[in-house]
């Protein structure tokens, strides 16, 4: 079992680091950033849709998606999006943005009356879709990562993208098993 730890700069040493340009500062003050981060948002993504193992997600998050590679890419290749983390089907962990920075993963969102969830959340993408079960290795990595994030930041809840953008987003989807994550503060579907 690989243990993850978040350093003082918001990076996981054992994660593959691929820098996304799609991020900015969380706050414009001298606030303690570690106290700002209070939410974990779980997403799912596959590019092309329902195809796994390729570089489409990485290309999207690094603004390198080629619209000629797949018809679906013509709809999204100009989107400027990212996430802090991606967990591949085999459990491999990739980090795109420091936890101390604001990744662009939540979009228009609201959690318990607070809008703009990117401001106070860490986004974790799972390689998957609304139509396929997630892999054991993904849950294993996810649980380790959630544990590391909770050791570093005052996390109040772990939610799905669908919980902060209901009606607009469905991920992580019906095949995500909330009972497989070790989160005593999970607030899904409250």
Instruction: Going residue by residue through the chain, which has 190 residues, state the pLDDT in tens, using 9 for 90 and above.
Output: 458 999 999 999 999 999 999 999 987 555 676 678 999 999 999 999 999 999 999 999 999 999 999 999 999 999 999 999 999 999 999 999 999 999 999 999 999 999 999 999 999 999 999 999 999 999 999 999 999 999 999 999 999 999 999 999 999 999 999 999 986 544 444 3
Cβ(164)–Cβ(109) below 8 Å: yes
Helix (H) / strand (E) containing 183 = none
Give the number of C-alpha atoms closer than 13 A to the C-alpha of residue 75, restricted to the C-beta side.
6
d(CA 99, CA 1): 22
- Which of these is catalytic: 2, 115, 125, 127? 125
The DSSP symbol for 156 reads -
Q: What is the pLDDT of residues 169-184, one digit of tens each?
A: 999 999 999 999 986 5
Structural domains of the chain ordered from first start: 16-23+31-180 (3.40.80.10)
Active-site residue flag, 135: no
Q: Rounded CA gap, 165 and 109, in Å?
A: 5
Residue 185: per-residue pLDDT:
42
Q: Is 13 exposed, middle or buried (0-12, 13-18, 19+ CB in 10 A)?
A: exposed
Does the reported pTM lie above 0.85?
Answer: yes
Q: Tell me which DSSP letter residue 166 carries.
A: T
């Amino acid at each position: 079992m690989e243990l993850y730890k978040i350093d003082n700069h918001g990076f996981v040493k054992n994660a593959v680091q691929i820098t996304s340009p799609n991020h900015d500062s969380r706050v414009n003050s001298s606030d303690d950033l570690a106290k700002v981060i209070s939410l974990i948002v779980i997403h799912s993504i596959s590019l092309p849709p329902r195809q796994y193992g390729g570089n489409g997600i990485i290309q999207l998050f690094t603004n390198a998606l080629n619209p000629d590679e797949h018809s679906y890419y013509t709809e999204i290749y100009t989107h400027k999006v990212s996430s802090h983390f991606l967990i591949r089907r085999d459990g491999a962990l990739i980090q795109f943005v420091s936890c101390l920075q604001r990744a662009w993963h939540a979009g228009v969102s609201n959690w318990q009356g607070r809008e703009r969830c990117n401001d106070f959340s860490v986004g974790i993408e799972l390689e998957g879709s609304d139509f396929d079960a997630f892999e054991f290795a993904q849950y294993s990595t996810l649980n380790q990562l959630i544990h590391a994030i909770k050791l570093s930041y005052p996390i109040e809840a772990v939610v799905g993208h669908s919980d902060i953008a209901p009606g607009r987003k469905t991920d992580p989807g019906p095949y995500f098993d909330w009972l497989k994550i070790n989160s005593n503060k999970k607030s899904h579907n409250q």
